[in-house]
Structure 1
Amino acid sequence: MANELYQYSIISALMDGVASHGTPIASVLAHGDHGLGTFRSMDGEMIVLDGAVFQMKSDGSIIPITDPAETITPFATVTRFQPTERTRATVTSKQDLAALLNRLFPAARNHFLAIRLDGVFKSINVRTAGGQCFPREGMVAVAERQTTHTFHGVRGTVVGFRCPDWTMGVNVAGDHMHFISEDRQRGGHILALETEGEVEVGVAMMSKFHVDLPEGDDEFNEAALVKDEKGIHAVEG
């Protein structure tokens, strides 16, 4: 069904370094064509755009995933995206985008939103994670080695989700978005953005949420999974 949120594992597991195993990306794609995630050992950022999957690595390269049945993700969130609201808007910041989403969906405080922006970005600042140095290394430590890039005057697509506050620790509460350029050469987890004039904005509210937890995974079974709200904000902000 369209606009139902599917998630594999939870963000608190990544915070605890649960990333050595996971599920084939193909099994995630069975649930959606629009989404975010990461790869085994937190090696880079994942973006799912129109059913295609890309790995955005810390060295700035982007790799299309051509073997989703053989590529593992320890955490991913997807939906079959069909926007129920479309508009054109000039967006000056992440805060400005948040205000636009509030205006479009004033009754969605405790629901999920799927988000897509297409157009030219005057400035977009992203980060990419370089991956774990050893098994069970936590996400905060991994993020300390992240690489940041700023792109100017680049055409591309933003894919993301807004998750309600009650999901913090299960997912990332708030607006969580990744970017990929139209030429598929640049991208990452969005830290800041500003559009070059108006861009196309598509959004859908979601009220159905399905989570699959890892099975037979000692890292997951032994993880404390204590909600670290401060740490999640630090690495996903």
Structure 2
Amino acid sequence: MADNEVYQYSIISALVDGVASHGTPISRVLEHGNHGLGTFRNMNGEMIVLDGEVYQMKGDGSVLRIDPEETVTPFATVTRFQPEVTSKDTISSKKAFEDILTGLFPKARNHFLAVRLDGVFRKIVVRTAGGQIRPREGMVDVCSRQTTHTFENVTGTIVGFRCPQYVMGVNVAGDHFHFITDDRQRGGHILELQSEGEVEVAAAQMSTFYMELPTEDDEFNEAELRLQAQSIKSVEG
């Protein structure tokens, strides 16, 4: 794949329906990108792909560097990230950053964006999911047991995507970001953020999208995969 093309394995509605027992080797996902998000088998933790390295941010607050040859993912989105726009901005809130991103790409309402932020953050609130406790348990129930963590005056990196509204159910429409500290010891799915002064913002607009669906997976074949937009928003918003 070329730079700034989206590759996605499976769909977010499959996680909503609890399709998470199997997946594809993460090493295959990394053939398509070095920057991205996802989860792990049984939705056990949050995935961040940063500079081609994969980290698992677990429900107990720990972070593991993952061997991509030995681990599978039931859902992931990646790209070969090449920034098209860079800036330095002070971010007062997650909503304020959404507005900054819109200002950087005013004509990208119906396109994908890949995003990276680096710097010092006054406050970041994240959540991490602890995983399924029974087969085919849906994402909403899994995330009802999520753990939240608050980091203050921390240096790290935010990785994520903005997806257009028409892909809701295939992916998460809107902004979806994960955070990891510079020491790779803490992180998670971002709920709130505020920077300590200016941070570096890098982003790229993307117009090419590739999707691979699971094969020979009974859970996926039997799932209804109906759009449950409100459930996705409640978990990923």
Is 2:232 aligned against 1:232?
Answer: yes
Is 2:167 aligned against 1:141?
Answer: no
**1:168-183 paired onto structure 2 within 5 Å:** 168-183=168-183
Where does residue 206 of structure 1 map in the other structure?
206
Q: Across the two proteins, how many residue pairs are aligned to each other?
A: 236
Where does residue 15 of structure 1 map in the other structure?
16
Where does residue 222 of structure 2 map in the other structure?
222
Is 2:158 aligned against 1:158?
Answer: yes
Distance 1:70 1:126 in 2: 27
SS, match of residue 131 in structure 1: coil
**1:178-189 paired onto structure 2 within 5 Å:** 178-189=178-189
1:130-186 residue CA offsets vs partner (Å, 9 max, x unmatched): 000011000000000000000000000000000000000000000000000001011
Distance 1:146 1:139 in 2: 11
Is 2:55 aligned against 1:75?
Answer: no
Distance 1:236 1:208 in 2: 23
SS, match of residue 170 in structure 2: coil
Where does residue 41 of structure 1 map in the other structure?
42
How far has the Cα of 1:69 moved from its partner? 1.5
Where does residue 29 of structure 2 map in the other structure?
28
**Please, what is the CA RMSD of the aligned residues?**
0.4
Distance 2:157 2:98 in 1: 17
How far has the Cα of 1:84 moved from its partner? 0.1
1:79-136 residue CA offsets vs partner (Å, 9 max, x unmatched): 0000000000001111111111111101100000000000000000000000000110
Which ranges in structure 1 are unaligned for 5 or more consecutive residues? none
Distance 2:219 2:81 in 1: 32
Which ranges in structure 2 are unaligned for 5 or more consecutive residues? none
Distance 2:172 2:38 in 1: 11
SS, match of residue 18 in structure 1: coil
SS, match of residue 27 in structure 1: helix
How far has the Cα of 1:70 moved from its partner? 1.5
TM-score, normalised on structure 1?
A: 0.99
1:21-51 residue CA offsets vs partner (Å, 9 max, x unmatched): 0000000000000000000000000000000
1:40-86 residue CA offsets vs partner (Å, 9 max, x unmatched): 00000000000000000000000001x21110100000000000000
Where does residue 116 of structure 2 map in the other structure?
116
SS, match of residue 110 in structure 1: coil
Distance 1:229 1:70 in 2: 33
Amino acid of the structure 1 residue aligned with 2:181: S
SS, match of residue 169 in structure 1: coil
Where does residue 126 of structure 2 map in the other structure?
126
Distance 2:69 2:110 in 1: 34
Distance 1:93 1:167 in 2: 25
Distance 1:235 1:200 in 2: 27
SS, match of residue 47 in structure 2: strand
Amino acid of the structure 2 residue aligned with 1:19: A
Amino acid of the structure 2 residue aligned with 1:133: I
